[in-house]
Structure 1
Amino acid sequence: MPFIRSGSPDTQLFYEDFGAGPPIVLLHGWPLSGRFWEGQVRALVEAGHRVVCPDRRGFGRSAQPWEGYDYDTFAADLTALLLALNLEDAVLVGHSTGCGDVVRCAASGAVRPRAVVLADPVLRLDPDTDPTVADDLTDAGLGYRIAMLDDVLRRLFSADGRPSLDQATHRYLLGLAAAASPKGGIDAITAWAHSRFTRDLTHLKPPTLIVHGASDAFAPFESGPVQIAALIPHVVRVEIPHAPHAAPFTHAEQWTRILLDFLA
C-alpha cells in the first residue's frame, strides 16, 4: 500500500492514487477518511484526472501518533504529500475541517496549487466565537466516544431535519470514524475549535470555489461561507439546495459536476 512519511513526530501517511491527467487531491474532514470521496473518485478519473485521496494522520489507514493533531502539522503533512508525489500544481479539495489543511497549505507558498475547492468549510474566523459546541463534543468523546461519533454522523448527513443515509451506509461510516485514533480524534476537535484562518484566507492566490449544502445541520455555529468568501481574493460560491454538511457524499453527482464546471 502507498505511504509517505511526514512531520514531527515522523508519521506514516496513507494515500490512494488513481488515474492520469491534471491532478486533484481530495482531503477528508473529521472524523472520517479518504473513503468519504468514493462518489467523486470514479467520475473524476473518467473525466481525465489523476485523483489522490490521502488519510489525515490519525484517521483511515494512516498511522496514529500520540501528538501532531494541529493545523500547522496537518498542513505540513499535505505539503509533504504534494512534494513527494510531484503534485505542486494540483487542485486541492478539502471538506469540512479538512478545509483548514488545504487553506493553510495553499496560503503558505510552499506549493502553488492550480485551484482550491472548499466543500462545506469549517473555518473559524472570529477569536470570540463561542467554543461551546466543540467543548461539548470533546466531553462526549472522552466519555462516550462511539455514541458521540454516531450522533455527529447523523448531523453531518441530515438535511431539512431528515437523515440522508440508509442504515447500512451509516454503520459503514461509523466504522470508519470509530477506527480513528481516540486521542487524535479529540485533539482534532480542539484544533478546529481554536484555530483561526482569517490570515490564511486573505493570502490565498489560486482561484477558489466554495460549495456548501444549504441545509447544513452540523456547523451552523461556524463562520458561514459568505463570510469566508468575502476574505478570498478570487472566489466563486455555489450553494446546493436541501443538501447537508456532507454534500459531496449525499449529492455526489451534482457536487462533482459543479467541480468539473469550475475547473473547465
Structure 2
Amino acid sequence: MARFDAGQGRTVYFEHHRGSGTPVVLIHGWAMSGRIWAGTAEALRADGHAVLIVDHRGCGQSDRDFEDMSVSAIAADVAGIVRQECARPAVLNGWSLGGAVAVEAARLLGDRAAGVVLTCGASPRFVRGDDFPYGGEPGSLDATAEAMAADRAGFFRGLAEGVCARPVSPPTVDWMWSAFIDSGVDALKSLRSLAGTDQREVLAGLAVPLLSIVGTADVILDPEIGRIAARLAPQGQVAEMEGCGHAPFIEDAPAYLAALRGFLANL
C-alpha cells in the first residue's frame, strides 16, 4: 500500500501491483472503494499488467476530510499518482462516477495516458439537459440527499441491492454495502459535482482509444450514455454486456475480462 500527497496535509490511498505489461489504473464508483476491483485486479496481474488501484478522496482508506470532493479533484489525484508511479503510459479504467474521473484524468495526462475504459461510466453526462435526454433528472440528487439523511444505512443497502441485474450471492451484496456505508460524510459532494459535469467536448478531443463497456440492463446509469461516449470519442468502441446491470465485472466476469483483454491487446 502507499499514499499520495494530495496537499494541505491530506493523502489518497493507492496500491501499485507491479508488472511488465501496460499499467492499468482501476478507479471505483461513487461512495465505493478500490477493493471492489479485487477480481479484475487479480486477472490483470495474472496477465502481467501493472495494476494501480486508487481509493477516491473521502472513500476507502483515503483521508475523509477533503474540502474539494469534485470529479476534477479526484482526477487530479489519479493523474498525480500515474505521473509518480508509471514509467510508461497507463490505461485508465473507471467504473460509474469513476468513468468521468478517468476521462478527466486522461485529459490531464495527455500522452501519459494509453487508453480509457468506461465500465458503465458516467461520461459524458450523468443527468439530463436540454440537449441531452439521457440520465437522471436534474433535481434527483435532492431526493438522494434526503434519503441518505433519513437512513444512510438503509439507502446504501438499497443501492447495493440494485447494482446488479443478474443474480449475485448475498455475500456479494453485503460486500458492496459494506464499502458504500464506509464512505465519508462528504461523499454526496462528489455526486453533486458529477451532476454538473459535461464531458462531450473532452471525449470528442480524446487522442487515445476508448472502450465503453455497457450493461444492457443497467438501471442506475442509462446504457445509452455509454454508447454515446463511444460515438463521441474518435477512437471509441462499445462492448455490450447482455443482461448485466451496473457492475458487469462482477455479474459476468469472464465476458467482461474478455472485452477488457481484447482492448488492451490492441493498444
Q: Does TM, scored on the shorter chain, surpass 0.5?
A: yes
Matching residue's letter, 1:71: V
Which residue matches 1:263? 264
Which residue matches 1:240? 241
Q: TM-score, normalised by structure 2?
A: 0.90
Which residue matches 1:146? 153
Which residue matches 1:168? 171
Deviations for 1:152-190, whole angstroms, at most 9, x for unmatched residues?
A: 11121234xxxx32222212221111111022x111221
Q: CA deviation at 1:200?
A: 1.6
**Measured at CA, do residues 148 and 111 of structure 1 come closer, stay the same or move farther in structure 2, by a change above 3 Å?**
farther
Which residue matches 1:191? 193
Instruction: Report if aligned partners of 2:10, 2:66 keep a CA contact under 8 Å in 1.
Output: no
Deviations for 1:193-215, whole angstroms, at most 9, x for unmatched residues?
A: 12211122112110111111111
Alignment of 1:38-53 (within 5 A): 38-53=38-53
Matching residue's letter, 1:216: D
Q: CA deviation at 1:25?
A: 0.7
Which residue matches 1:20? 19
1: CA distance, partners of 2:48 / 2:259: 16
Instruction: Report if aligned partners of 1:23, 1:87 keep a CA contact under 8 Å in 2.
Output: no
Instruction: Report if aligned partners of 2:213, 2:239 keep a CA contact under 8 Å in 1.
Output: yes
Deviations for 1:232-262, whole angstroms, at most 9, x for unmatched residues?
A: 1111111011111111122122211111111
Q: TM-score, normalised by structure 1?
A: 0.91
The gaps in structure 1 that reach 5 residues or longer are none
Give the match's secondary structure for 1:224. Answer: helix
**Measured at CA, do residues 110 and 6 of structure 1 come closer, stay the same or move farther in structure 2, by a change above 3 Å?**
farther
The gaps in structure 2 that reach 5 residues or longer are none
Which residue matches 1:85? 85
**Measured at CA, do residues 223 and 190 of structure 1 come closer, stay the same or move farther in structure 2, by a change above 3 Å?**
farther
2: CA distance, partners of 1:224 / 1:87: 33
Instruction: Report if aligned partners of 1:11, 1:63 keep a CA contact under 8 Å in 2.
Output: yes
Give the match's secondary structure for 2:112. Answer: coil
Instruction: Report if aligned partners of 2:16, 2:51 keep a CA contact under 8 Å in 1.
Output: yes
Identity %: 25
CA RMSD of aligned residues (A): 1.9
Q: CA deviation at 1:11?
A: 2.2
Alignment of 1:46-195 (within 5 A): 46-86=46-86, 89-110=89-110, 112-123=112-123, 124=125, 127-128=129-130, 130-159=137-166, 164-183=167-186, 185-195=187-197
1: CA distance, partners of 2:109 / 2:171: 42
2: CA distance, partners of 1:10 / 1:77: 14
**Measured at CA, do residues 245 and 115 of structure 1 come closer, stay the same or move farther in structure 2, by a change above 3 Å?**
same
Instruction: Report if aligned partners of 2:212, 2:227 keep a CA contact under 8 Å in 1.
Output: no
1: CA distance, partners of 2:43 / 2:242: 22
**Measured at CA, do residues 201 and 14 of structure 1 come closer, stay the same or move farther in structure 2, by a change above 3 Å?**
same
Instruction: Report how many residues are paired.
Output: 257
